[in-house]
A and B are shown apart, each in its own frame.
Chain A
Amino acid sequence: MINGVKRFIPDNLKPFVSSDEHLNRIRKTVSKKSKTDETVFLHNIDEVFNALNITSGMTLSFHHHLRNGDKVIQLVAKEIEKRDLKNIHLAPSSIFPSYTNLVDLIKNGNVTDIHTNYLNGPVADTISQGYLQGKLIMNTHGGRSRAIESGDLAIDVAFIACPVVDQFGNGHGAIGKSACGTLGYAISDLEYAKKVVLVTDTLVDTLVAHQIDGRYVDYVLVIDSIGDRGGIVSGTTEVSKDPIGLKIAKDCANLLNYLGLIKDGFSMQTGAGKTSLAVVKFVEDIMIKNGIIGSFASGGITKAYVDMLEKDLFKNLYDVQCFDLEAVTSFAKNKNHLAMSASEYGNPFEDNPICNQLDFVILGATEIDLDFNVNVTTDSLGNLIGGSGGHADIAYGSKVSIIISPLIKSRIPIIKERVMTVTTPGSDIDILITERGIAVNPLRKDLLKKLEDSPFTLYKIEELLSITHNITGVPRHIETDEKIIGYVEYRDGTYLDVLRKVKDEYFR
């Protein structure tokens, strides 16, 4: 059948209708786990597998707060391999390039299904080439929480890397040699997984405050190192020097200012790319110049936002994960730097998730099409290169969502008549800002009216596509293989798109 973003979805799956459709449904939750036994401390992964009787076919979950520095998922992967368990369903909140030993597990059928929000690197390449025997489900951060609490994603064992744990099994992310900051993505796993294992390299007697409540923790595995916190740093900490990126960022900040969105009490979220950081810098300049104090910034938090908090430009930061070590330090010492769980961040069934309180968000795109649908999951050939993360959550929740991107990346136009994969529905995308002009989604008549007499160069998105094709020529049509390798699941649990194997001739 054809769904609400004009994509084919197999008949046995629930198709995406609209991003508001969850408003017609009631929140469904399974019971939170309850535990009566004492938390058991172990020192060997082999003991954990034995104690929990981890067998073939189980679902194991992980968070990605240590990002490229994580060693916990690799530790568990080695044990799966050693025991030659089969048909394991992995549910890490994200998969990074350093998780290389998952590749052989996928190829050998040890791991056959994966549920994640983002993936990049060798694992992504392996799945793109069709090696995953089961299916890949790509979710959003808020959608993953919804899936866990509703029982759609039932977790047998949650392995939660935790930088410090006390004798009662309580844990925190901001202390310890592997401190990584908030542990927002692990909270649903903690509360709803059948069994929970905290994996730590630092034990203390008692924690004054904790993010991980020991009442949910069955086992604590103590090892030498849960990861390299240097691997946390996401993307970049430097503002763009690329003149095109700077132009886009400056136009973006000026547009936000023109629309009156940078005002006392406003809230915002951006990514961690160089151009996003440049937007933050320009917004900061406008705030200082006009004496504006914002309410909060949220998301993956970077040093740029920490600096603004310390300058009292924002009252609070809501942090679901720390993108750099400065954010980790700030979270540990600044009471206004607050943790939020992925559910509090973006679960569509929360009463008022943070994503719904955002005034504007600045997002990237690998592709955007004439319906403003955005792809950040695959490249234009279909290779998996990312995923929604919070993209679809905050695009839906914010009052104004803005995509910033050059029209051409590595000679490839970013505007397509039809994106290869729909990650975020076009109905949730309001504005596209490029180096050659701005396109406003015709659904946002209010914004178009406000910008009628503005100094900005406005185009229809079709006109921007035409300008791009005049520069690059029209790219040839890319065909996909028939084999379905996975699905893009919208935050409400419906299906946005199918992921197909990349044709052999397009393999990178």
Chain B
Amino acid sequence: MFRSLLFIPGNNPSMLQNADVFSADAIIFDLEDAISISEKNNARNLVRNYLINSSVLPKQIILRVNAIDSEWFYKDIELLKTNKIDYLLIPKMDKLTSDKLTVLLSEYEAKNNMPETKVIALVETARGVEELPLYAENKRLIGLFIGAEDLANDLEIKRTESSEEIFYARSRIVYQSVINHLIPIDTPYTNINNPEGLLRDSTYAMSLGMKAKASIHPNQLDTINKVFSPSPEEIKWAQEIIKINLSKPGHGVFQYQGKMIDKPIINRAEKIIEKAKIFEIL
């Protein structure tokens, strides 16, 4: 479970050194878009050495690998052997990529006697959005991550401050995530000098059903964490609901502040408390 994910370019040693310090729930070490072709090998080596040698690692580690049909993919997934990577972030996911990935990883895991690798799909093409129902059931998946910049390029449209142009893709990712018990992860807000814009964009994404948001700068994390955490009011409400429910075993339905509380609402209260505990705000 995460609220915030932070991209760190694989070739940035000072950022790597401090990766555990930032308040992100997960760090995405990037070997793909943030790394120029001439730097691919250096970045991979740096991340590998960091994962092997660092005594202080982030809570959850995601590796954004290069596209599965690129010349670097196989070298990138060699980093799985460090046993420090929790998830792979797979670019340009669609049905065909999903199928190929399943085969490639299964072969790799069998050959190296490794457990099943969990994956987050980076949905950043029109095909990827439209084919979501065809691959979102892939058992390796734990999350769907909308990559709005590449998606806008694919659609040949401009990214705007309001993000109206990605409403459809965001919603589709949220719905497919809910159906398949995945985490819907929102695209980064790229203007690092506009904290108000970040707050607005995060709040809006959360209102659509996104459960987490990626960031490209550590200074964005506090805002994201705040938006995607249960609020103190929500936590208090959930605690009350759970308390009343426990005091009335077998009732199933009861009233709280004039509203009918039934099983789905009790489940929601339990989820809020679970999140609060995981994110250490309770």
Residues of A within 8 A of B (CB): 241, 243-244, 246-247, 250, 408, 435-436, 467, 470-471
Contacts and interface: CB of A to CB of B under 8 A. Distances in A.
B22 A436 contact: no
B55 interface: yes
Contacts of A408: 17
A247 B17 contact: no
A243 B223 CA distance: 13
Interface residues of B, number: 13
B217 interface: yes
Given A435-B21, A436-B56, 10 more contacts: A243-B22, A244-B21, A247-B22, A247-B23, A247-B218, A250-B222, A408-B17, A435-B18, A470-B56, A471-B56
Nearest to B192: A241
Interface in B4-31: 17-18, 20-23
B56 to A, nearest CB: 7
B86 to A, nearest CB: 21
A243 B23 CA distance: 10
Contacts of B217: 243
B219 interface: yes
B96 to A, nearest CB: 39
6 smallest beta-carbon distances between A and B, as pairs: A243-B218, A470-B55, A435-B21, A243-B219, A244-B18, A436-B21
B83 interface: no
B38 interface: no
B54 interface: yes
B21 A241 contact: no
Nearest to B6: A243
Given A241-B219, A243-B218, A467 B22 contact: no
A436 B219 CA distance: 16
Given A243-B218, A436-B56, A471 B17 contact: yes
Contacts of A243: 18, 22, 217-219
Nearest to B217: A243
A251 to B, nearest CB: 11
Contacts of B18: 243-244, 435
Contacts of A247: 21-23, 218
25 contacts: A241-B219, A243-B18, A243-B22, A243-B217, A243-B219, A244-B18, A244-B21, A246-B219, A247-B21, A247-B22, A247-B23, A247-B218, A250-B222, A408-B17, A435-B18, A436-B20, A436-B21, A436-B56, A467-B55, A467-B56, A470-B56, A471-B17, A471-B54, A471-B55, A471-B56
B230 to A, nearest CB: 17
A243 B215 CA distance: 13
Nearest to B220: A243
Nearest to A455: B280
B279 to A, nearest CB: 13
Interface in B205-227: 217-219, 222
Question: How would you classify the secondary structure of chain A's contact residues: helix, strand, loop or mixed?
Answer: helix
Contacts of B21: 244, 247, 435-436
Contacts, number: 28
Interface of B: 17-18, 20-23, 54-56, 217-219, 222
Contacts of A241: 219
A250 B222 CA distance: 11
A241 B192 CA distance: 10
Contacts of B55: 467, 470-471
- Which interface residue of B21, B56, B222 has the most chain A CB atoms within 10 A? B21
A250 B22 CA distance: 13
A246 B54 CA distance: 23
A269 B279 CA distance: 34
A435 B18 CA distance: 9
| Chain B CB within 10 A, most for which of A241, A244, A435, A470 | A244
Q: Which among B18, B23, B54, B219 has the greatest number of chain A C-beta atoms within 10 A?
A: B18
Nearest to B218: A243
Nearest to A244: B18
A247 B19 CA distance: 13
Contacts of A470: 55-56
A315 to B, nearest CB: 31
A239 B229 CA distance: 27
Contacts of B222: 250
A471 to B, nearest CB: 7
A454 to B, nearest CB: 14
Contacts of A467: 55-56
Nearest to A472: B17
B221 to A, nearest CB: 8
A388 to B, nearest CB: 30
A328 to B, nearest CB: 29
A435 B22 CA distance: 9
A93 to B, nearest CB: 36
A408 B21 CA distance: 13
Contacts of A436: 20-21, 56
Contacts of A250: 222
A250 B218 CA distance: 13
Nearest to A434: B21
Contacts of B54: 471
A265 B231 CA distance: 32
A246 B18 CA distance: 13
B235 to A, nearest CB: 16
Contacts of B56: 436, 467, 470-471
A109 to B, nearest CB: 45
A329 B57 CA distance: 48
B130 to A, nearest CB: 37
A345 to B, nearest CB: 35
Contacts of B20: 436
Contacts of A244: 18, 21
Nearest to A406: B18
A246 B217 CA distance: 12
A246 B218 CA distance: 10
Contacts of B218: 243, 247
Contacts of A471: 17, 54-56
Contacts of B219: 241, 243, 246
B197 to A, nearest CB: 16
A453 B94 CA distance: 49
A436 B58 CA distance: 12
